[in-house]
């Protein structure tokens, strides 16, 4: 089943890296926003002396942006590949359908790690002492979050009619999710209905898990969010396997 | 007669309320170029994709190399090569990367360098897909279809949108595939292409197969009439030739005379009669019906682009 997965993933990585705009958006933008906001409010939830108190953890926002840009990019690539008949052409090879899609997940997870590494480097450079999470645990939390949000991305990619609509539809789905994620204001402050909705979204669990790990909590203390991300992944993967269109 | 490598019987495929293919039966024999011809939307691609196993037929039985295209999909994919209509690859994939990836997926492959050379792509190894011309893209797709040395090659509308030189180059390649002992199953809406390339054709319209045979047989059966058109300044020539064998009737317009008739001896007979009567001829040509005329006659309208 995995035959061709690494070959295809490596190839897609190279292809993605050849598109300057995609690379800047994926790797550069979250880091730039992190540095700018970190300068204004402080990074890692600690305020910079003389600056306003950070209303939220800027590093978590940057991590969330990494996840969102990965998903937006995935939705766009799926729509373009479908419209261009690339998915159909790949499907006529001995590659298993799951392998073709998994390769793109692998690519996105790879770029997520690269973005996070850049983020860490920027944190060390610009905000020494402010970035003190357990990085291995935080990377794992981010990867799990990205995986879960990517599965939702496949559902979105299934319903996007054409490549032209991919970015706007993806943005329309993801940005409200970011607002409701609990990063900017507590979920408990939301009306009851919205609160329930928010806990059904992967971004909310992602923020809760990443914040918890950032603050030094163990995984056991956040099993509910791990379970939330895993459940959303399972549901979205099941839905996407029924609704995904290859042409 | 060679053995059948593809057998389709009573194939039916619908999309919602639209019947795309209805009761199509055909047989493709080993080592031939078989063409499915008809206008756009006739059901050619749907038929081909059912045979390739990319679509599941609603009804009917399909066998390719003795395999069921859907049930035995993975075994079949190792033995067939496909090229899709209007296909693309990733914009920034390099030619060699595509070849490499495809080659890695099959158990057995031909030598990539020689294949690229044969298709005239050796100078484009490092080029991005998006920079290739239409003809080069199609040649790359042919290369991808041939990389694993398949027994049957499927080509769907492979010269649509190409200029005449590129089209002719592709035709030569397709003939070459057949000459290497492969079986080629292609679709086209270009009657000239079908007539040049195909050993046998099936005409499909509105999802139904309406005729099948060699181009020459179809022309002989449905459009047997021939015309000889010549120019001469001798008076009353058409009158003097109209008793030659096979001539049905003659028309004259100025110095241009047209003789209508049919039969194997028709043209020879006229040449003999011209010589016998010592008619001075300034121009002489025969007009033979083509597959396009057959199509026109069978469907009541021409092929549409």
C-alpha dist (Å) from residue B118 to B103, B115, B213: 17, 5, 31
A interface residues, B as partner, C-beta within 8 Å = 3-4, 7-8, 11-12, 14-15, 18-19, 81, 84-86, 88-89, 91-95
In this prediction the pTM is: 0.87
Binary contact (B89, A91; C-beta < 8 A): no
- Residue of chain A minimizing CA distance to B53: A92
pLDDT digits (tens, 9 = 90+) for B141-198: 999 999 999 999 999 998 988 888 889 989 999 999 999 999 999 999 999 999 999 9
Confidence of residue B34 (pLDDT cuts 50, 70, 90): very high
d(CA A109, CA B239): 85
Q: Of the given ranges (B43-52, B185-194, B233-242), which has the lowest mean pLDDT?
A: B233-242
| Domain definitions of chain A by residue range | 2-243
d(CA B197, CA B34): 9
- Tell me what pLDDT residue A130 has: 76
- Tell me what pLDDT residue B202 has: 97
Complete edge-to-edge strand list for the sheet that includes strand B247-253: B247-253, B256-262, B225-231, B283-287
Cβ-Cβ contacts under 8 Å for A121 (sequence gap 6 or more):
none
What is the predicted ipTM? 0.86
Binary contact (B87, A94; C-beta < 8 A): no
Binary contact (A88, B87; C-beta < 8 A): yes
Position A118 pLDDT exceeds 70: yes
The shortest CB-CB distance from B86 to any of A12, A85, A93 is to: A85
pLDDT digits (tens, 9 = 90+) for A128-175: 877 778 889 999 999 999 999 999 999 999 989 888 999 899 999 999
Record the tokens describing residue A117, joined without a space. 């590494």
Given a contact cutoff of 8 angstroms between Cβ atoms, the answer to whether B260 and B166 are in contact is no
d(CA A149, CA A144): 9
- Give A65 to chain B, closest Cα distance, Å: 26
d(CA B291, CA B304): 14
pLDDT digits (tens, 9 = 90+) for A48-85: 555 556 667 888 999 999 999 999 999 999 999 999 99
Region B99-116: what's the mean pLDDT? 92
- Give B145 to chain A, closest Cα distance, Å: 9
In chain A, residues with a C-beta closer than 8 Å to the C-beta of B90 are 12, 15, 81, 86
Record the tokens describing residue A216, joined without a space. 């030094």
d(CA B61, CA A247): 24
């Amino acid at each position: 089943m995995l035959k061709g997965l690494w070959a295809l993933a490596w190839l897609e990585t190279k292809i993605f890296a050849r598109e300057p705009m995609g690379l800047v958006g994926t790797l550069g933008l979250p880091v730039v926003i992190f540095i700018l906001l970190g300068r204004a409010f402080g990074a890692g939830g600690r305020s910079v002396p003389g600056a306003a108190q950070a209303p939220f953890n800027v590093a978590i926002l940057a991590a969330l942006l990494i996840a969102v840009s990965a998903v937006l990019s995935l939705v766009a690539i799926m729509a373009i590949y479908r419209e261009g008949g690339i998915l159909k052409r790949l499907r006529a090879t001995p590659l298993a359908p799951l392998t073709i899609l998994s390769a793109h997940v692998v690519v996105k997870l790879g770029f997520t790690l690269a973005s996070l590494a850049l983020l860490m480097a920027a944190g060390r450079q610009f905000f020494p002492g402010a970035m003190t999470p357990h990085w291995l645990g935080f990377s794992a939390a981010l990867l799990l979050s990205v995986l879960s949000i990517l599965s939702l991305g496949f559902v979105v990619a299934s319903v996007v009619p054409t490549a032209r609509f991919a970015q706007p539809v993806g943005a329309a789905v993801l940005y409200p999710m970011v607002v409701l994620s609990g990063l900017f204001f507590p979920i408990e402050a939301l009306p009851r209905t919205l609160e329930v909705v928010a806990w059904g979204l992967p971004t909310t669990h992602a923020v809760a898990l990443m914040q918890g790990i950032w603050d030094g909590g163990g995984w056991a203390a956040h099993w509910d969010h791990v379970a939330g991300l895993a459940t959303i992944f399972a549901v979205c993967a099941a839905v996407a396997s029924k609704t995904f269109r290859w042409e | 007669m060679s053995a059948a490598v593809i057998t389709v019987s009573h194939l039916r495929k619908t999309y919602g309320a639209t019947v795309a293919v209805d009761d199509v039966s055909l047989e493709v024999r080993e080592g031939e170029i078989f063409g499915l011809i008809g206008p756009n939307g006739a059901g050619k691609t749907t038929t081909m994709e059912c045979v390739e196993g990319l679509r599941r037929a609603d009804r009917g039985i399909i066998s390719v190399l003795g395999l069921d295209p859907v049930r035995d999909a993975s075994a079949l994919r190792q033995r067939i090569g496909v090229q899709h209509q209007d296909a693309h690859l990733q914009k920034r994939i390099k030619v060699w990367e595509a070849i490499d990836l495809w080659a890695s997926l099959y158990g057995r492959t031909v030598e990539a360098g020689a294949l690229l050379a044969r298709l005239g792509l050796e100078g484009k190894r490092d080029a991005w897909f998006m920079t290739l011309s239409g003809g080069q893209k199609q040649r790359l797709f042919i290369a991808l279809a041939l990389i694993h040395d398949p027994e049957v090659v499927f080509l769907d509308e492979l010269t649509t949108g190409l200029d005449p030189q590129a089209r002719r180059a592709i035709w030569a390649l397709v003939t070459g595939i057949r000459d290497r002992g492969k079986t080629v199953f292609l679709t086209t809406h270009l009657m000239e292409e079908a007539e040049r390339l195909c050993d046998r054709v099936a005409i499909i319209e509105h999802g139904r197969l309406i005729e099948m045979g060699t181009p020459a047989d179809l022309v002989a059966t449905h459009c047997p009439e021939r015309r000889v058109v010549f120019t001469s300044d001798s008076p009353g020539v058409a009158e003097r030739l109209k008793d030659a064998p096979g001539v049905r009737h003659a028309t004259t317009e100025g110095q241009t005379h047209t003789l209508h008739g049919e039969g194997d001896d028709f043209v020879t007979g006229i040449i003999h009669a011209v010589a016998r009567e010592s008619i001075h001829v300034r121009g002489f040509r025969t007009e033979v019906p083509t597959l396009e005329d057959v199509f026109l006659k069978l469907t009541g309208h021409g092929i549409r682009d």
